Amino acid sequence: MERSLRVGGLNVRYLEDGEGAPVILLHGASLGSSADVWTRNLPALAAQRLRVIAPDLPGFGDSDNPQDHSVAYRRRFVPAFMDALDIPRASLIGHSQSGRVAVDLALEAPQRIAKVVVLGTNSLLPPLPGNSEAAADGEEGANSEPTLEESRRLLESNLFHRDLATEEAVVLRHRMSLGKNFEAFAARKSSRGAKADKGGEPPWLRLARCPVPLLLLYGEQDRGQAARRAALAKELSPQLDLRLLPRCAHLVQWDAADAFAELAGRFLAGD
């Protein structure tokens, strides 16, 4: 399942399973995130006759660090990764910050994106009355390389079922938080600066214009009052296919692995 290839001069590690319609799974931007957040989901999705491919995005996991650490670069990386795999069109699953990347790509290049599944992306939910801005997407991490215990706490903070933060999972998350990955995380923090769409249309308003089929999944116990904001999103845009999953926090694909595989798999495999 573990493979690598060159994309734009970088060595990129990715996980792959199954055969059928291609689906690219994009992890979030928290320190320690990598393609490994999808390992428990790949077999179940592949069983839906899907070819599921989860890369370590540049600057994460075992992929090389890029020179450009912006979200815009990661958005450009996705079609380049598809080209390297000779995939002209694919569906996308984006967790946290990558959910917005997936939606933006669908808006910009619908000829390349078949369907989109969004998991726990805060910036795609409207703010509650009295709040001027929606919550930002997760880029959690410390100002220095974390200890093993700090990696444990960070992982547990994203879970409703904290027992899923096993020793093996914590050790892996910690390894993916050190060295060149921490350097990339620090570079992302320093390069955030002004947002490309600051002062423009809020990201959540663009959902109604998404030109490809769209499924949004959020945990009822996710941060940023996600449940209340998801209810508001449905009130403002009743046509949205938006589901709230109980007993589930930010790592939707861990806390609600079975429900995620069933809902996303059926949505992606259907006509």
43/124 Cα distance (integer angstroms): 28
**Residues 6+ positions from 75 with CB-CB distance below 8 Å:** 101, 104, 105
pLDDT at 93: 98
**Do the Cβ atoms of 6 and 60 come closer than 8 Å?**
no
Could you read off the pLDDT of 153-190 as tens digits, one per residue?
A: 999 999 999 999 999 999 999 999 999 999 999 999 88
- In whole angstroms, what separates CA 254 from the centre of its chain? 13
CA distances from 262 to 108, 164, 255, 257 (A): 28, 20, 14, 9
pLDDT digit string (tens) for 106-127?
Answer: 999 999 999 999 999 999 999 9
User: Looking at the DSSP assignment, which residues form a beta bridge with residue 2?
Assistant: 15
Complete domains list, the chain, with CATH: 2-269 (3.40.50.1820)
267 touches 115 (CB < 8 A): yes
Task: State the average pLDDT over residues 214-237.
Answer: 95
